[in-house]
Structure 1
Amino acid sequence: MNVKQALFCIGVSALLAACGGGGSDSASTGQSLTQAQPLPSGSTYIGTMSFGDTIRVQLDTPSTGQVTVSFISSQFGLSGSVVSSYTTSNGTYTADNFQASGTVPAVLSTGAPDMRLTFTLNTDSNNNATMIGTFFKVPNVKAGSGTLTGQVTGSNNGVTTVAGLAGTYSFIKLSGDYTSAGVPTGDQDADTGQIKINADGTFRACPSAPYSDTCTDDEDSSVTDTGTIAIDANQTSYPGAFDLTLNGLMYGRLFASKSNGATTLMLDQAGTNSDGTFRTGSWVLQTAQTIASGTYDNTWVCTEPETTDENVLTGGILSQQVVISGSTLTVNGNSATFALNSSFSAADSSSQPTPVAIGGLMSMLYTNSDSSQSAMMFLPVSPNAIYYLDEPNGNGFFVQGLCTPGELG
């Protein structure tokens, strides 16, 4: 396997070279604003899809028992809104057979009935909630055919100032390059690590490493991955949003959710490369913690985008039964060693994954049927939700997935 093939592409040198060129982002700077305007802890959520778009989800709109999904910012030509009825079972919401609401692109209107959204709400006593779920078979409007499948992370709340984001976070991220027609090129970066955000909005990211005030980019030790966060100027379209600039380049739009004593951040990464391709993806960041053995012992259903053996995303979904017990993770009856507070070092993993201790993350290696090894890195965001990166074919191509408690039906 080759972790380094995908990991790591965060610093300036990597962004301009291995990632396919510098570019601009759709986010707008908003440093003149002093307060963001997050949603008021109601039934409307704003957040990201893991393939790199921003959406709004409104429960019980336009009427009770229905959900409206609006595409606010998209690299794939998605726009307008779709509506579906939803059902709930054991805290899981399910909506399918969507229909267009108003004017939407023809490809979206035609494909909406095949879309399916499942999610849970991690809600606290103040009704602050994080939406965590998966959106299946979203039409790729820009490509004109094919579908997109990815995780949804949303918030019905947030913070009003940059200082409200201050803290140290563990993160996973996945992004990839697409042609101007919305077709993936196969170039990716899959990252884990920690980041510290200061009260003034400055931050330092530590790829493949726990946070320290002296960490550097793991590809180029002469580069420090630093930047600033400012309030997004368009709080009407993006309530509670912040703009993130990394090493002088606009990088993406950030949302926050404070629920049950922890903060979850979601970043919609989007940019255009100099060669005409565009890079899009998302980050999920969670208040850093030290994970104790047994904390996530449970039976889980882990769901991720389906790929072919040639790393082509089919638009379908793969669900697997997973059992976590102490230092063992069992997938469909096959067990492997499961490391807590651990990930893999990108720069040191050209041929064999090199573990690195990082609080708040979990990792494992598993052996495929062809004897190749695949890496997995996990980020828990609640007792009932674990995001992860998986290398399904053991060759450096990653997908992002989500584990929730339960049994496969």
Structure 2
Amino acid sequence: MIDIQKIRTEFPILKQKVNGKPLVYFDNAATSQKPQIVIDSIVNYYTTFNANIHRGVHTLSQKATNAFEEARVKLQKHFNAKKNYEIILTAGTTHSINIVATGFTSLLKKGDEIIVSALEHHSNIVPWQMLCERTGAILKVIPMNEEGELQLDIYEKLLSEKTKLVFVNHVSNALGTINPIKKIIDKAHHIGAAVLIDGAQSSAHIKTDVQALDVDFYVASAHKMCGPTGVGILYGKEKWLHKLPPYQGGGEMIKQVTFEKTTYADLPYKFEAGTPNIAGVIAFGTAIDYINNLGFDNIAAYEDELLQYATKKLLQIEGLKIYGTSKTKTAVISFNIEGIHPYDIGVIIDKLGIAVRTGHHCAQPIMDFYKIPGTVRASFAFYNTFEEIDLLYEAIIKAKTMLS
């Protein structure tokens, strides 16, 4: 069970007012808020053992290195990676995707095919387009339907012996749709293709077992999971991480350097050039502990209650249309009101202290599919309440009255 009142006391930002109104934060798909324990872990690093890692024999460096590597192990266990060195610590999901996309430059040839879905964030579209430009590979797209679901029958027809890679998000950031990634992975593997799953939107709501999925690559960001910005992971099967060349050159990712030749470090350091966001990685480990202590089953059950309540409530508003009506979705509602631009709604309800996201949500192909400029997106987390949803309902009514 979620003790909502206790949880809300653990998030200091929720105590503040915006435009004179109590903050109602419904922009969790963009970034989640941070509990005090995560904030404290960052402060603790900088005030008690700030030092660079892996390179020093002195006490502070040893402490920092231990805390950093302990966080890696926490992430390994959370995602159930087979080896801790299959967890590459990155600057976030976008960074992780680009490591893979750049690495495959040497593994693809002209005429090879790669598949992406119509539900993707730009971060899981643009790097693959750039890869195709470099290699001559061909990008194909799994189409979506009106409910915001992928058309798997067409996906099966797209697969062939030419298919080398498949990229799909676990959850759509724009619509909340939960994709059937196990089916997608299995069908890709049947014809010998590798699969990357973008877990940026799923990781805060679904506990992922990468071994059970048999996925080749899985990427996620800390800031969607109550952790800090600028930190993420790239999980890769060991065999694939050995095949990919380093993404960046520099310190830490080397074994030996001479002016004649450089040899690279073993995993995971081969992909971790330079000084990392040490405090952020340690805080990511703290955030993982925090949400696991709450329990993902508890989080999912409560957030689904919020989603069902909000869906029923908002559909009472005349002229309001929800985009993304899959039966399997996370706590995201993207909507428009007939005749009113989503930006205008967002501006007015912000004056009432309610934070939502407006626009195309870095998913322009989805908006093009629906022939709309964007949506208003309300995305919920386990620290939100039913009372806040009531405030959102009242704010939308007020905005509609003012703009009609």
TM-score range, shorter chain: under 0.3
> Which entry has the higher C-alpha Rg, 1 or 2?
2
User: TM-score, normalising length from structure 1?
Assistant: 0.27
More contact order relative to length (CA 8 Å, sep ≥ 6): 2
Tell me which protein shows more helix as a share of its residues.
2
TM-score (normalizing by structure 2): 0.27
Q: Between Structure 1 and Structure 2, which shows a larger proportion of strand residues?
A: 1
